[in-house]
């Protein structure tokens, strides 16, 4: 088995590609060793002591190193952990799978959607799924919808995209521009 790595726009994060499915659906972000207890793989990566975030995508794992950590030393450790996990076919989550675990990113809404905006929200979701999420996944992350109110779309960047130096530009110039172009009711995009 060979695990490829790719850089991301976030210099603190690397994207690891095991050449097989990681998450059957959805994504999962771990921002602390305590959160990682739900996954033996995420926990093993956090156990290096040099990681601040682990993110599972459909076919990749993004890992964010702690400030000051040298990737030349950490990368072989993470590759070794990933090889051990995938070769042994160990379960990704405690209990064997993601059932019963909060996988959908849309589980914490910032604002409640007004039922009168259902068509607008549906258009936003369609654009997020077909155009935005695939692009963000290419950079080792994901984007979570957090609500729409008064023309403002609330989103959260996850994985390698969280804390990336270009995340504000991604939200304001990329995503906001695309949503405003296709959905005239959108006036702004804000990080939530």
Q: Which of 19, 54, 88 is the last residue of a domain?
A: 88
C-alpha to C-alpha distance for 191 and 69, rounded to whole angstroms: 27
Q: What is the pLDDT of residue 101?
A: 42
Asked if residue 97 belongs to a domain, the reply is no
Asked if residue 153 belongs to a domain, the reply is yes
Asked if residue 28 belongs to a domain, the reply is yes
Asked if residue 71 belongs to a domain, the reply is yes
pLDDT in tens, 159-185: 888 877 787 787 888 899 999 999 999
C-alpha to C-alpha distance for 189 and 127, rounded to whole angstroms: 14
What CATH number does residue 113 fall under? 3.30.300.130
pLDDT in tens, 98-111: 543 444 444 577 78
Asked if residue 185 belongs to a domain, the reply is yes
pTM for the predicted model, two decimal places:
0.81
pLDDT in tens, 108-154: 777 888 889 999 999 999 999 999 988 888 888 899 999 999 999 99
Asked if residue 95 belongs to a domain, the reply is no
Whole domain around residue 118: which residue ranges? 105-191
Residue 34 token pair: 């305590």
* 4-7 vs 152-159, strand pairing mode: unpaired
Q: Which of 33, 61, 88 is the last residue of a domain?
A: 88
Least Cα distance to 50 among 28, 77, 27 occurs for 77
Q: Which of 34, 61, 88 is the last residue of a domain?
A: 88
Q: What is the pLDDT of residue 104?
A: 41
């Amino acid at each position: 088995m060979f695990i490829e790595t790719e850089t991301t726009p976030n210099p603190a994060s690397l994207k690891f590609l095991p050449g097989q499915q990681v998450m059957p659906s959805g994504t999962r972000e771990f921002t602390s060793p305590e959160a990682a207890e739900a996954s033996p793989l995420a926990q093993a990566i956090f156990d290096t002591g040099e990681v601040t975030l682990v993110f599972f995508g459909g076919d990749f794992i993004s890992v964010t190193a702690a400030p000051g950590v040298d990737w030349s030393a950490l990368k072989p450790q993470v590759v070794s952990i990933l090889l051990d996990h995938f070769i042994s076919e160990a379960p990704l989550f405690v209990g064997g799978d993601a059932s019963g675990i909060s996988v959908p990113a849309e589980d914490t809404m910032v604002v409640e959607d007004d039922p009168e905006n259902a068509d607008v929200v549906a258009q936003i979701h369609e654009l997020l799924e077909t155009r935005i999420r695939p692009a963000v996944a290419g950079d080792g992350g994901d984007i979570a919808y957090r609500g729409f109110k008064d023309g403002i779309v609330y989103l959260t960047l996850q994985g390698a995209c969280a804390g990336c130096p270009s995340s504000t530009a991604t939200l304001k110039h990329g995503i906001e521009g695309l949503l405003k172009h296709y959905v005239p009711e959108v006036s702004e995009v804000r990080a939530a």
